[in-house]
Amino acid sequence: MKLLVPIDGSRFSEKALYSAIDYAKKTDAEIYLVNVVPWTEDVDLEISVSEREALRTGLEKRGERVVSKACDIISGEGLKPYCKAIITSISVPDAIIDFAEKEKIDLIVIGSQGLSPSKRFKMGSVALQVIKHSPCTVWLVK
C-alpha cells in the first residue's frame, strides 16, 4: 500500500504525517511525501523579476527543509520514506492529485488546514479540493 502525505510545514500536515506513520507501521505501507510550491511566475504583484525569482527560490528552499525534516522523522521511526521534495504548480490540489494518479497512491493522508492564513473555513481549500477530486481514498486529519 502507498500513502501520500502532502507536507507544508503546518501543524496540521505534521499531525497527518504522524497519523500516516502510525498507519504505515501497522500495515507495512510505504509513505510518499510531497511539497507543492505555488507558481509565482504569473503572480500579479508589483515586484521585479528578481524579487519574484527570490520569492520562488525561498519557497523552494523552505519546501526542501520541510520535506527533509519529515523524511528524518519517518526514518527515525524505522520506516523508509519516498521523498519528492518539490513540485511547482499553478494549482496545489491539482499537483497533489496528479502525483497520486501518477504514483498509483492508495491513500492520501492530509491535514485539514495548511499554511493559509484564512480562519474562515474549518477545512482548508486545498484539502477540500483533494477530497473532492482524488483518485483514491483521502484521510483527513484534524
> pLDDT at position 45, please?
65
Average pLDDT of adjacent 10-residue blocks, the chain of 142 residues: 95 96 97 88 71 87 94 96 79 93 97 60 75 96 92
pTM across the whole model: 0.88
> pLDDT at position 114, please?
60
Three-state secondary-structure class, residue 121: coil
> pLDDT at position 67, please?
94
> pLDDT at position 120, please?
44
Enumerate residues 6+ apart whose C-beta is below 8 A from 117.
Answer: none
What is the 3 state secondary structure string of 26-48? Answer: HHCCEEEEEEEEECCCCCCCCCC
Query: Which of 16, 10, 33 lies closest to 141, judged by CA?
Result: 16
> pLDDT at position 16, please?
98
105/25 Cα distance (integer angstroms): 17
Location of C-alpha cell 474562515: 120
> pLDDT at position 124, please?
62
Q: Please answer whether residues 39 and 94 qualify as being in contact, where contact means their C-beta atoms are separated by less than 8 angstroms.
A: no
> pLDDT at position 117, please?
47
33/86 Cα distance (integer angstroms): 10
> pLDDT at position 55, please?
86
2-6 and 30-38 strand pairing: parallel
